[in-house]
Structure 1
Amino acid sequence: MTTTEPELLSVQGLHVAFPGRGGAPPARAVDGVDLDVRRGEIVALVGESGCGKTTLARSLLGLVRPTGGRIVFDGAPLELSARALKAYRKRAQLVLQDPSGSLNPRHTVYDIVAEGLRIHRHPGDERTAVAEALSRAGLRPPERFFLRYPHELSGGQRQRVVIAGALVLEPELLVADEPVASLDASVRGEILALLLRLRTELGLSALVVTHDLGLAWNIADRVAVMYLGRIVETGAVEQVLTAPRHPYTQALLSVLPEAPGSPVVLAGEPPDPSRIPTGCRFHVRCQVLAGGEAARAGVADDCRNGNLEILRADGDSQVACHWARARAVEATAGGEAGGGAAVRPG
C-alpha cells in the first residue's frame, strides 16, 4: 500500500465524552484522535480493553455521537441526520466481534444477509445479490446456506455470514471490531485471509480494531496504538511492530511468545477516563519512568507534566512520548539507531 492513495475516511480531532455519574467529570473515552484510512488500505487500531477503541469505531459509523472534531468520508464531512447516516452506512459497514450476538437466531441466513438490501431498497435481484455475498464470504455453494439458522453453523461460518451481510451492499469501508476474537485459532487464519482477499478483489478499505498485535502484523498496512483515548504511536505496521518506540507499545509486544527478554508487566489498570493524568497519560504506569530511564534522559518532569500534542493523521511514523523523542534526538546526534527491541509478531 502506497502513501499516495487518497483518504477514504479521515478523522480530525475527534472527541467522544460520556456524562459522569453523580456530578463526576465527563468520561473522555476518545480524547482527540486524528486517523486516516486510505482507499484499499487496512489499518489496525490496537490497544488493551478500555482504551477507547470500540467507542472510536462506533463513532465512525454514527452509532455514537462525537462531542467534538469531525469525520470526513470520501471528501465530505459526515452528517449525523438519520437520512445522511442511512446513505453513509450503505458505503461503510460494521462487523462486530461476536457473531452469535449480532445474528438474529430466528432468521435464516438468507434473511440475515438480505436485510441490508431491504432496508436500503436495493435495486436488482435480491437472491442473486445474497448468493454473491455469501460466495464472496466463503460460504459455497451459497444456496446450501439459505435456509439454515445461526445455531446450525460453526463459529467461523457465523462470522462469514456477518461479513456477507456487510458485503451485500458493496461497501467501500469495513470497520471490524475484534473480528476473530471469539473464534478458534484454526478459524482465525481463514477469516483474516478472507479479509485480505476482499481487499484485493474488491478494493475494500478496512479499520480493524483489535487487542492482538499478531493479528495486526498479519493483516494491516498501518497500525495505530491507542491508550486512554488517544493514539500514542502510529506508522507502517512493520516499522511500529519491529521497532516500537513508545513504552506502551513495547509492553504490549513484550508478552508475545516470540518477543526477546522478559515480559513487561504494567502496574495497575488504565486510569479512569474521567480523570486523565497530567503530562503523558501513560506516565503513571510507564516502566521507563519507573525504572529511571526517563530521568537519565532528562525528561521525567516532562513525562509527568508536559502535554503531548495529538499525532497527525498521515503515513509518517509518529510517537507521543517525551522519552522516545529524546532518544531520537540523541541517536541522531550520535549516529545511533533508536527504537525498541525488534519483534516479529506471529
Structure 2
Amino acid sequence: MKEQVTQGTRPLLSAEQLRLTFPGRRGAPPARAVDGVDLDIAPGEIVALVGESGCGKTSLARTLLGLEKPTAGAVTFAGKPLDYASRALKAYRKRVQLVLQDPSGSLNPRHTVYDAVAEGLRIHGYAGDERAAVSDALSRAGLRPPERFFLRYPHELSGGQRQRVVIAGALVLEPELIVADEPVASLDASVRGEILALLLRLRDELGLSALVVTHDLGLAWNIADRVAVMYLGRIVETGPVEDVLTAPQHPYTQALLSVLPEAPGDPVVLTGEPPDPSRVPGGCRFHVRCQVLARGSAEEAGVAEACRSEDLPVLSGGAATQVACHWAAARAAQ
C-alpha cells in the first residue's frame, strides 16, 4: 500500500514558473523545452512525470537536478533557492541523486562494483568507513551478501543486478531525493517489478522522495503517489495517481491511457508528432492533435475557439487534481 503524503507538508523540492530554452537552429526561434512549470515534491513522496518522448520530461529533470540552469523561474530545495555556484551545486547533488535508465551506460566497464559504488564517496571526500558504507548501500539495494559483489565487473552481472548497483551508487551518499529517468525501461519484464518494489521499500525505510520520469503509465500506477502529465514543455494534468489514471480529464492523458492493454474501448491514435518546441502553437498547445476538438465535442461545449486561441494558465505544483483544458473546464462547470 503506497504511503499517502500529508497535504500541507512543505515541499522538499519545488519548481516555480520554470522555463528552459535552447537556441534555435539555423535562425529558428528558441526551443522552449520547459515552458512554465510549477511542481512540488513532498518529503517521502513519489511523483511520476509522464509523457511522450520529446515532451520535455528529461529537460525538466535536468533542470531540477541543477544540470541545466533555468532561463527563468526558480528551483527551491528544503526551503532554499538553488545556488548555482560550483561548491553549492556539489553539496546539492549529494542530497539529490540521479538514477539513469541504462545501467550499462552508467557503469564504467573497467571499474569493479565496489569502485562504482564508492566513487561518489570519494568525490565528496567521505571521511567515514568507506567499506562499511559501500556494504550498507549494496545491501539496501538488494545485493546480498554485498562482499560477494565487490570485485565483480558490470559484464558479470545481470541487467537487474547492474541497475541495483546504480541505485546503490546513489544511496551511498544518503540522498533525500532521487530522480529516476526511465529506471526500468531497459530491463526484462520479470525484473521490473523487483526494481519498483525496491524503490517503494527505500521510500518506506529511508523516507526517500523520488521523481520518476517515464513514458509508461502502468509504471506510474504501480509506484507513484502523484502523477504529472507533461506535453510540449508544460504539465497539462496532475493529481493523485488514482484520480488521474482512473478518471483522466485531459484528452492527452486519455489518449496515453487508451493504449494500455487493460484500458476500455478502442485506443486513441494521435495524429502526427508533438509540435516543434521552437514553434509552440497558440491557444491550447495540444489542440492541433486533440481528438476531442477533431470529433466536434469541443464545438458542442462551446470552447472550440478558445482551444485554438486562448492559452491556459500554468498549473500549480501542489497535490490537488488539476487540468489545463478548456473542454474539461467546460464539462466541470456543467
Instruction: Flag structure 1 segments of 5+ consecutive residues without an equivalent.
Output: 331-346
Q: Secondary structure at the match of 2:288?
A: coil
| 1:221-260 matches, cutoff 5 A | 221-260=225-264
The answer to whether the aligner puts 1:104 opposite 2:108 as a matched pair is: yes
Among candidates 294, 299, 305, match of residue 303 of structure 2: 299
The answer to whether the aligner puts 1:325 opposite 2:329 as a matched pair is: yes
Cα distance in 2 for residues equivalent to 1:45 and 1:182: 18
The answer to whether the aligner puts 1:266 opposite 2:287 as a matched pair is: no
- Please tell me the residue identity of whatever aligns with 1:54: T
The answer to whether the aligner puts 1:72 opposite 2:76 as a matched pair is: yes
Among candidates 10, 25, 30, match of residue 21 of structure 1: 25
Cα distance in 1 for residues equivalent to 2:98 and 2:153: 21
Q: What's 2:194 paired with?
A: 190
Q: Secondary structure at the match of 2:269?
A: coil
Cα distance in 1 for residues equivalent to 2:60 and 2:106: 19
Cα distance in 2 for residues equivalent to 1:80 and 1:95: 21
Q: Secondary structure at the match of 2:192?
A: helix
- Please tell me the residue identity of whatever aligns with 2:283: G
Runs of 4+ aligned residues of structure 1 deviating over 4 Å after TM superposition are none
Cα distance in 2 for residues equivalent to 1:294 and 1:202: 47
Cα distance in 2 for residues equivalent to 1:144 and 1:5: 41
Cα distance in 2 for residues equivalent to 1:29 and 1:4: 30
Q: CA RMSD in A?
A: 0.5
The answer to whether the aligner puts 1:114 opposite 2:118 as a matched pair is: yes
- C-alpha deviation, 1:148, in angstroms: 0.5
- C-alpha deviation, 1:61, in angstroms: 1.0
| 1:22-37 matches, cutoff 5 A | 22-37=26-41
Q: Secondary structure at the match of 1:275?
A: coil
The one-character-per-residue Cα deviations of 1:3-60 (angstroms, maximum 9, x if unpaired) are: 1322100000100111011111000000000000000000000001000000111111
- C-alpha deviation, 1:163, in angstroms: 0.2
- Please tell me the residue identity of whatever aligns with 1:258: E
- Please tell me the residue identity of whatever aligns with 2:253: T
The one-character-per-residue Cα deviations of 1:61-117 (angstroms, maximum 9, x if unpaired) are: 111221110000000000111111000011000000111111101100000000000
Q: Secondary structure at the match of 2:287?
A: coil
Q: What's 1:95 paired with?
A: 99
Cα distance in 2 for residues equivalent to 1:69 and 1:19: 18
The one-character-per-residue Cα deviations of 1:253-306 (angstroms, maximum 9, x if unpaired) are: 000011110000000000000000000000000000000000000000000001
Cα distance in 1 for residues equivalent to 2:180 and 2:17: 22
- Please tell me the residue identity of whatever aligns with 2:262: E
| 1:109-258 matches, cutoff 5 A | 109-258=113-262
Cα distance in 1 for residues equivalent to 2:44 and 2:182: 20
Q: Secondary structure at the match of 2:13?
A: strand
Cα distance in 2 for residues equivalent to 1:11 and 1:67: 13
Q: Secondary structure at the match of 1:181?
A: coil
- C-alpha deviation, 1:240, in angstroms: 0.3
- Please tell me the residue identity of whatever aligns with 1:229: G
- Please tell me the residue identity of whatever aligns with 2:292: V
- C-alpha deviation, 1:214, in angstroms: 0.5
Cα distance in 2 for residues equivalent to 1:64 and 1:154: 32
Cα distance in 2 for residues equivalent to 1:68 and 1:158: 37
- C-alpha deviation, 1:232, in angstroms: 0.1
- Please tell me the residue identity of whatever aligns with 1:145: F
Q: What's 2:57 paired with?
A: 53
Q: Secondary structure at the match of 1:4?
A: coil
Q: What's 1:311 paired with?
A: 315
Q: What's 2:88 paired with?
A: 84
Q: Secondary structure at the match of 2:199?
A: helix
Scaled by the length of structure 1, the TM-score of the pair is 0.95
